[in-house]
Amino acid sequence: MTDAKTRIDETVKSNDVVLYMKGTKSMPQCGFSSRVAGVLNYMGIDFTDVNVLADEEIRQGIKEYSDWPTIPQLYVKGEFVGGCDIITEMTLSGELDTLFEENGVAYDKDAANKIREANA
């Protein structure tokens, strides 16, 4: 599992935004992954997607790495942010915008506002 931890660590630290998910950003394989990837895609976030279904070591390793039992998992600037429920909550409250702004991650503010308006 050390190899998986090393690969995860390198991916998380060398990319500004990483989503460990089931499937890919263009072809999610579960509803929760689809929701988070959809939010990031809609907001115009340039993110790296890691398909945990393609690698069993990574699929198990990411849960140990973050000490978080579910997938998807979002990382921003090397820090674990959360899973689907947390990202949804942060998107609707505006906290995700703040997180991206504080970390210099470009995103479409109008798109973020449209998500909130549609869910108000």
Q: What is the pLDDT of residue 89?
A: 97
Domain boundaries, position 102: 2-118
CA 26 to chain CA mean position, Å: 14
Q: What number of residues does the chain have?
A: 120
Count of domains observed in the chain:
1
Whether 30 has a binding-site annotation, put simply, is yes
**pLDDT grade for 120, boundaries at 50, 70 and 90:** confident
pLDDT tens-digit map of 35-63: 999 999 999 999 999 999 999 999 999 99
DSSP 25-54: SSSBSSHHHHHHHHHHHHTT---EEEEGGG
pTM over 0.85: yes
